[in-house]
Structure 1
Amino acid sequence: MTFIRARGALVAVATALVVLGAPLPASAGQDPWCGIWWGSLPETTATPAPPVGQVTDVRAGQHPCFDRLVVDLQSGAPAGYDVRYVDQVSAQGSGEPVPVEGGAVLQVVVRAPAYDETRGVTYLPADPARVADVRGARTLEQVAWAGSFEGQTSLAVGTRARLPFRVFVLDGAPGSPHGARVVVDVAHHW
């Protein structure tokens, strides 16, 4: 009975501190708890009806709880996607392995081409082995180009470890209010 009372008193004190806005003690040097509920299983959506936008850029950013990869699309229907951890990403068309650094490999397939209807290139990275700048990232180790073929574009993303991720599509893209962005967030921790 004493244990139950002590536990109840502890919960009441913690609740009062939160309600009053007082910070709860944290261990020095630890990251904040981010409330991440994502997992590491594949995330996929269907291929949208044409016309689908074309890939125009791939970029990366860092946030306090996760690293972010963004694939920008110019006007057209938002793209579908298939994102999953794999042993090895194969290049579009050739099937050749795409090597990346890191403890795990995330295959990112965006169901949109990096070329237009006349086969004109809409996006081609200057360095296929280093598509996005991930210097300073805590989770993303490398983003490599795996090609664009038959209406879809693939990236090989090296991550520090197999960590939780989420994928979603946002309206609008830089320079195109009618475009879209496929966003992949990879958490720093489980």
Structure 2
Amino acid sequence: MRYRPRLAAVAAGILLTAGIGATIPASAAAPQHAAPQAAPATALVTNARWGGHGSFDRIVVDVRGKMPPVTVKAVKELRYDGLGSKVPLAGKYFLEIRLSPAAAHDDAGRSVYKGPKLTKVWLPTLKGLAMTGDFEGVVTFGAAFDTKPVFTTRTLHSPERFVLDVRPAPGCGR
């Protein structure tokens, strides 16, 4: 049983060393020659535009920086992110376009987005477009339609942009 005092002394030394190490600031513990790591750049959404192209309508979202993941889904109604209030776009069908991580403002809080905030559109399929959010690293748009939309998406590069092509569902006529 003579090893117990020695074991207790070793355990106390380990705990004391761990406690001292926990109080050293991370900046002091890092090697001085290590290069600082840059935070990942957030994609900046700068514009949204639309156009009619014969058998389909197109929405284009312009991005500065690397294109973030984009999701498009049908929703029953459009709501402003953060507020929850209903977006005043007329239509029977709606698509929500969500870019994340992304922002429509710079680090100083100034808007870099130069496109429409809310606009009525008179295209055969697309009837309205709204920027519905720039909130907590997510930029959201809503699109309104009178007929059920069928859509395809893609990203284009140099410059970076997201493209949503929409046509009416079969049987809706155009």
TM-score normalised per structure 1: 0.63
Higher-Rg member (1/2): 2
Q: Partner amino acid for 1:139? A: T
Q: Give the drift of 1:124.
A: 5.1
CA distance in 2, matches of 1:72, 1:117: 19
Deviations 1:45-83 (A, max 9, x none): xxxx93232011110011122100011011x21121111
The answer to whether 1:65 aligns with 2:52 is no
For residue 123 of structure 1, the aligned residue among 113, 121, 127 is 113
- CA shift, 1:134, in A, is 2.9
Q: Partners in 2 of 1:95 and 1:124 — Cα distance?
A: 23
Deviation at 1:88, TM superposition (A): 1.3
Aligned residue runs from structure 1 range 83-122, under 5 A: 83-111=72-100, 112-122=102-112
Q: Which runs of 4+ in 1 moved over 4 A?
A: none
Q: Percent of aligned positions with the same letter in both sequences?
A: 31
1:60·1:68 contact (CA, 8 Å) conserved in 2? yes
What's the offset of the Cα at 1:150? 1.0
Q: Which residue of 2 aligns with 1:54?
A: 44
Specify the alignment match of 1:17 in structure 2: none
Contact 2:94–2:143 (8 Å) recurs in 1:
yes
The RMSD of aligned alpha carbons is 1.9
Unaligned runs of 5+ in 1: 1-48, 174-179
Q: Select 1:181's aligned residue among 157, 161, 169.
A: 161
Query: Which one-letter code corresponds to 2:78 in the other structure?
Result: V
Contact 1:67 1:139 (8 Å CA) reproduced = yes
| Structure with the higher helix share, 1 or 2 | 2
Count of residues in correspondence between the two structures: 131
Whether contact under 8 Å (2:147, 2:169) holds in the other structure is no
**TM-score w.r.t. structure 2 length?**
0.68
